Amino acid sequence: MKDNAELFIKASSVNYIQNTKLRGSLFDSKDTGGLISSVDTGFLVDHREPLQALTWAQEMKEWHLGELLDGLGFLVVIQAKRRLRNMPTGHL
């Protein structure tokens, strides 16, 4: 994530995502505010429901992404395999 996060953000087709700033100790070793892998979207939302889900996730497993602060979102990069659709013969 550290090596490719900025490339993923800049490649987004969503303007406010393209303009986010990387935040957290994964991207800045001097960041000691509790963030690990976040993006500063400046897009403020009600965090009650996501914080409930975060609490559940932290209780179920070890959580590696740090805190969720106002105006920020978690940045997660997951490698996925490309799946081919079943197509009629002769189509690619």
Instruction: Please name the residue ranges forming H helices in 1-92.
Output: 5-11, 15-18, 48-60
Identify whether the C-beta of residue 31 lies closer than 8 Å to the C-beta of residue 25. yes
Statement: residue 45 has pLDDT above 90? no
For the chain, the average pLDDT equals: 78
Q: pLDDT value at position 57?
A: 76
Lowest mean pLDDT among 36-50, 56-70, 72-86: 72-86
Confidence of residue 40 (pLDDT cuts 50, 70, 90): confident
Identify whether the C-beta of residue 5 lies closer than 8 Å to the C-beta of residue 77. yes
Q: pLDDT value at position 91?
A: 44
Closest to 3 (Cα-Cα) out of 45, 37, 46:
37
Cβ burial, residue 39 (10 Å; 0-12/13-18/19+) = buried
